[in-house]
Amino acid sequence: MERSRFNLPQDLLEEILSRLPVKSLIRFKCVKKSWSNLLQNRNFIAKQHYNRCSQTHPSLLAESLDYTIWGSPITPRYFLSLHTHPDDDEERTTMVAMTTRLPRMCVCINGIICLAGSFVGFNGFVLWNPAIRQYKLVSYPNFPFPAANCFDCFAFGYDHISDDYKAVSICARYWNTGNSFIYMDSCVHVYTLSTDSWRQINPAFDHSDVRLHSYQNGIYLNGVHHWLGLLMDKFGQCECEIVVSFDMGNEVFQITKLPELDNVLREKYKFFAAFNGCLALIFVDKIEETLENVFDIWVMCEFGVKGSWTKQLVVITPQLEIARPLGFAKNEELFLLSKDKHAVFLYNIGSQEIKNLPFRGLLNSNRKGHVRVYVESLVSFTGGYVFQYNQAPNDLYNILHLIVP
Q: What integer pLDDT is reported at residue 46 of this predicted model?
A: 87
Cα–Cα separations (whole angstroms), residue 198 to 143, 169, 174, 204, 294: 11, 10, 23, 18, 43
Please list, in sequence order, all residues whose beta carbon lies within 8 angstroms of the beta carbon of residue 63, skipping any fewer than 6 positions away. Answer: 78, 79, 80, 81, 104, 105, 369, 370
Helix 42-53 / helix 10-17 crossing angle, nearest 10 deg:
50
24 in a domain, yes or no? yes
Residue at 15 is within a domain: yes
Domain residues for the domain of 23 are 10-55
- Spatial CB neighbours of 83, under 8 Å, sequence gap ≥ 6: 59, 60, 61, 62, 91, 92, 357, 358, 359
What is the spatial distance between Cα 13 and Cα 47, in angstroms, rounded to a whole number?
13
Name the pTM for this structure: 0.83
What pLDDT shows up at residue 216?
59
Q: Secondary structure of 285-310 in the HEC alphabet?
A: EEECCCCEEEEEEEEECCCCCHHHEE
User: Does any domain span residue 393?
Assistant: no
Task: Give the pLDDT of the chain (405 residues) as one tens digit per residue.
Answer: 445 555 778 888 888 888 888 888 888 888 888 888 888 888 888 888 878 777 656 677 777 665 554 444 455 555 666 666 555 555 444 444 444 455 666 678 998 988 886 665 667 888 988 888 888 989 888 877 666 566 778 899 999 999 999 999 888 776 665 555 556 677 899 999 999 999 999 876 665 677 777 555 688 999 999 988 888 777 767 778 889 999 999 999 998 988 887 766 667 778 888 888 889 888 887 777 777 778 888 899 888 787 789 887 776 766 677 777 777 876 678 888 777 546 778 888 878 888 887 665 555 444 566 777 788 889 988 877 788 867 777 667 666 765 655
In a domain, 102, yes or no: no
pLDDT at 391: 73
What total number of domains does the chain contain? 1
Q: Does residue 357 form part of some domain?
A: no
Residue 44 lies in a domain: yes
Task: Please list, residue by residue across 245-277, b when 16 or more beta carbons sit within 10 angstroms of its beta carbon and e when fewer do.
Answer: bbbbeebebbbbebbebeeeeeeeebbbbbbee
In a domain, 240, yes or no: no
Tell me the pairing of strands 387-388 and 219-221.
unpaired
Query: Does residue 34 belong to any structural domain of this protein?
Result: yes
On the question of a cis peptide bond just before residue 103, with omega within 30 degrees of 0, the verdict is no
